[in-house]
Amino acid sequence: MDSSARLNNKTLSRSIVAPTTTSSTSTAIPISDSAKSQVINIIPTYPFNFCSITALQSSHLSIFQENQHQRVMLRRCLQYEDDGSNPLANNPGFSAPTNSIANPDSCCGPLNLEIPNASWLESNATSGNMDAIGLSLPIVSNLPAQRGMPSFPASRPSGIGLHLNSIISSAPVGCACMRLAGGNYPIVQERNPGFMLSSHPSEGTNSSFGFADPIEISNINDLRHNSQFSLRACSDTAESAQSFKASGDYLLLTPASYHANPSGMGKLQSHVDHIDEFENFNQLSPPRKRKRAISATDGDGCKMCNCMKSKCLKLYCECFSSGNYCAESCACHGCLNKPDYEDTVQDARHQIEIRNPLAFVSKVEDKWLTTSSARHKRGCSCKKSMCLQKYCNCFQSRVGCSEECRCKSCKNTYGWKEDNGSSMERVSQSTNFKGWETASNEELAAVTVGKDMQGKICHPHILTPTTPSFQFSDHGKDAFKSRLSSRRYFPSPDSDLTILSSHIKSLISGDSDGNGTDMLQKTSTEVLHPVCYNEEFDSGGINDRTSFSLSPKYDKYADVYNRIGMPNVQSMPSGFTASPITGNSKSISQAVISPGTDHFPPKGSLWHDSPCTPLTDGVTKIHEGLDSKNDVYTILTDDTSEVLKQADTPLKDVKVSSPKRKRVCPPDNHCREFESNLQKF
DNA sequence: GAGTTTGAAACT
DNA sequence: CAGTTTCAAACTC
């Protein structure tokens, strides 16, 4: 079964609540007060394409309606995405689902889901049918191709282009774009009714914005005449599941054609202008107190800037440099990095590219196919930070320093550069089974950087570039704590380290039940829990592939795999991809729990806070049950074990994913807690 | 939250 | 290309 069929057969178990009252001639989706309470839970999507898809599948949409003031909130996205790499970009109609790759620089790489015939929405929106509408649609991710992955044909135009903003910065863990091809049907739920429901923009305030620059659409026809819209779904995972649901999720429309052809969005532009007036109005007001973005990222890699003078049109601006528009959550002043100023933005980009054609190119490449070998293209020039702080480009990108770097006294944890210029793979060289076995040993202290770095015991986890944000410095700790309380967490492969180590240890020592394969199967299954790297995720999976990334530490087990006939993974130390939704009838399991459901684990749950998507058998089973009960959760298949059991069947989709990973994954107990929470279901 | 440090970007 | 300045993020207090 190909991915298309698979997806179709699985049918998105998203329930879409149609508007209750709308005349067939209505020009907009009315939003009634009662409907306001109807929340469509858009599960945050993850860098993994399949996750995104599954997330959307398991999400259920609702249409927020507003009487009289029929409007659609659009998020203006900076996305020069129509580079031809995606057939959908030019084809509003049906397209076979293909997974491309997530924008490595954006945690919220757009996932555009094509709905071949979106008329269902209109028909249902106008029929008064409140019943949930089963969505069955092929899903196509429209994610930019990953650079440095020659196995995938998708390409981007020169200049890389500005990517979809990482969506609402306040809704970082994930987001998705759903394109209503053919489409006429903006479905928008504004997260912040305070603004959404205001009859006039001036009634709102900046502070009431849930996200940046919503575009107010008062007439659905304004959108209807446009062929494509991206339905964006985001969730603020900083909230608990309960509040998540209570407050609703983002569900934003972005006219896909807007960026490619702004001129074609005349009507929309009028609304943009309207917003501009609003913004101007606000600017005339006493300058809002400069608010520093709580985090350099919104928590999931969606950069937020605080530019004061650059107008966000210089590479100083992280939003700009990463190809994104600034978000409302940014604390920048005089920002021109907005769709409103697209020409200006383009000019600025052009000027910069003249100076440096690679200015907007991904700063990290993984040409060496190993996580630890990924390098920052431009390297760094650190003099004092020893490449151990985020001042360092390389460190910040979680890659090792290389010969390209001009740094001094490099101590980059991800691979340092000797003073003679040669680079070392610290990750691989400084780790060993012994160390890994003690990875879970709490005696090992987390590393702190800077002055305290030297002489401290390195927690083995530090050796993996996957979890730097809490591995280093107090900042990291804070970030970790913050994330524990505000993000969803799933156990990372790190969590399985002990188990894995144990398994392999026994395997190697022969202290198994004699069935090493079984042991390894079990191990593999556990290991195969995908690491969800939200930010800067470099999906190794493109076109019908999904990434399952392994921490570099698992490189060490490659030989073990080989010993028992597992696919050769030696060449994919940083991870590999399996094919969950394609080709093979067997695929990696997927299970996604919608955070917007009552079944979501209670607030505070680490699992809940995890941005990762666990793919455990148990999870899947649970979800199967949930799915049948509530049509909320959707599962593709749970074939992980089976895939692994087929030791004689090479994983055709072995891929390498880059190391660009930021997501922090919790320790072992998080895994247990996660499963414990699941048991509550 | 203010001030300092840092290194990239921008400029000369 | 090198040196300096500007800038904003990272970091410290």
pLDDT for residue A43 is more than 60? no
Q: Which nucleotide is nearest to A407 (CA to C1')?
A: B7
Measure A232 CA to C1 C1' (Å). Answer: 47
Is A495 part of any domain? yes
Question: What's the confidence (pLDDT) of residue A424?
Answer: 62
Q: Are A102 and A539 in contact (CB under 8 A)?
A: yes
> pLDDT-derived band of residue A378, with 50, 70 and 90 as boundaries?
confident
CA of A390 to C1' of B2 (A): 21
A152 falls within a domain: yes
pLDDT value for A302: 58
The yes-or-no verdict on residue A245 having pLDDT over 60 is no
* CA pseudo-torsion sign A620, A515, A499, A504: negative
The distance (Å) linking the CA of A648 with the C1' of B4 is 59
Say yes or no: Cβ of A392 under 7 A from any atom of strand C: no
Q: pLDDT digit string (tens) for A500-541?
A: 334 434 443 444 344 444 433 433 333 333 333 333 333 333
Q: Specify whether the CB–CB gap between A48 and A173 falls below 8 A.
A: no
Strand C atom within 7 Å of A472 CB = yes
C-alpha A674: how far from its chain's center?
20
Indicate whether A582 pLDDT > 70.
no
Q: What is the count of structural domains for chain A? A: 2
The answer to whether residue A18 is domain-embedded is: no
Q: Which nucleotide is nearest to A406 (CA to C1')?
A: B7
By C1' distance from the Cα of A376, the closest nucleotide is: B8
Q: Could you give the percent of chain A with pLDDT greater than 70?
A: 14
Q: Which residues 173-232 of A interface with strand C at a CB distance below 7 A?
A: none
Mean pLDDT of A268-280: 37
Query: From the CA of A390, how many Å to the C1' of C12?
Result: 15
Predicted local confidence at residue A461, as pLDDT? 37
Percent of chain A with pLDDT over 90: 0
Q: Which runs of consecutive H residues, i.e. helices, occur in A543-680?
A: 558-563, 617-630, 640-645, 668-679
**pLDDT in the model for residue A539:** 36
pLDDT at A309 over 80: yes
Confidence band for A176, pLDDT divided at 50, 70 and 90 = very low
Mean pLDDT of A201-219: 33
Measured CA A497 to C1' B7 distance, in angstroms? 36
Distances (CA, A) of A125 to A75, A118, A180, A186, A232: 22, 11, 14, 11, 18
How does pLDDT run across A72-115, given as a tens digit for each residue?
A: 333 333 443 333 333 333 333 333 333 333 333 333 333 333 33
| Separation between the CA of A347 and the C1’ of B12 (whole angstroms) | 23
In a domain, A300, yes or no: no
- Look at residues A447, A533, A439 and name the one whose alpha carbon lies nearest to residue A490: A533
Interatomic separation, CA of residue A383 and C1' of nucleotide B10, rounded (Å):
20
Minimum CA–C1' distance nucleotide for A385: B6
* Residue A296 token pair: 């350099």
Q: What's the DSSP call for residue A353?
A: H
Find which nucleotide's C1' atom is closest to A331's CA.
Answer: C8
A390: the nucleotide nearest its CA (via C1') is C10
Residue A317 contacts strand C, CB under 7 A: yes
A405 is a domain residue? no
Provide the CA A50 to C1' B6 distance, Å, integer. Answer: 39
Nucleotide nearest to A321 (CA to C1'): B9
- What does pLDDT average to over chain A? 43
Q: Is the Cβ–Cβ distance between A484 and A426 less than 8 Å?
A: no
Cβ pair A241, A601 in contact under 8 A: yes
Rounded CA–C1' distance between A513 and B3, in angstroms: 62
Chain B nucleotides reached by a protein CB under 7 Å: 1, 5-10
**How far does the CA of A260 sit from the C1' of C1, in Å?**
39
Q: Is residue A654 part of a domain?
A: yes
Q: Which of A284, A304, A321 is the last residue of a domain?
A: A284
Domain boundary among A248, A267, A284: A284
> Can you give the pLDDT at residue A415?
79
Q: Which residues touch strand B (CB under 7 A)?
A: A 292, 314-316, 321, 352, 355-356, 359, 378, 380-385, 389, 391-393
Q: Is the pLDDT at A372 greater than 80, yes or no? A: no
**Alpha helices in A528-570, H assignment, sequence order:** 558-563
Nearest nucleotide to A408, CA against C1' atoms: B7
Measure A129 CA to B9 C1' (Å): 56
The alpha-helical segments, DSSP class H, found in A113-260 are 119-127, 193-196, 220-224, 241-247, 256-260
- Straight-line distance from CA A663 to C1' C12, in Å? 25
> Closest nucleotide to residue A386 (Cα to C1')?
B6
Amino acid A289 CA to nucleotide B2 C1' distance, rounded Å? 15
Is residue A72's beta carbon less than 7 angstroms from any atom in nucleic acid strand C?
Answer: no
Strand C bases within 7 angstroms of protein beta carbons: 6-12
Q: Which residue has the higher pLDDT, A592 or A383?
A: A383
Burial of A40 (0-12, 13-18, 19+ CB in 10 A): buried
Task: Give tens-digit pLDDT for A109-158.
Answer: 333 333 333 333 333 333 333 333 333 333 333 333 333 333 333 333 33
Output the pLDDT for position A390: 85
Predicted local distance difference test score (pLDDT) of residue A359? 81
CB contact at 8 A, A248 and A191: yes
Range of the domain at A522: 425-537+545-578+584-681
Last residue of a domain, one of A284, A299, A330: A284
A638 touches strand C (CB under 7 A): no
Whether A83 maps to a domain, the answer reads yes
Q: Does strand C come within 7 Å of the CB of A477?
A: no
Distance measured from the CA of protein residue A396 to the C1' of nucleotide C6, in angstroms: 22
Q: What is the pLDDT of residues A327-355, one digit of tens each?
A: 877 888 888 888 888 888 988 888 888 88
Separation of alpha carbons A619 and A635, rounded Å: 10
Q: Tell me the pTM.
A: 0.36
A307: closest CA among A316, A295, A298?
A: A316
Highest mean pLDDT among A21-25, A134-138, A318-322, A481-485: A318-322
Q: Does A383 or A371 have the greater pLDDT score?
A: A383
Average pLDDT over residues A219-233: 32
Predicted confidence (pLDDT) at residue A321 exceeds the cutoff of 70: yes
Is there a domain that residue A362 lies in?
no
Determine the nucleotide nearest to A384 by Cα–C1' distance: B6
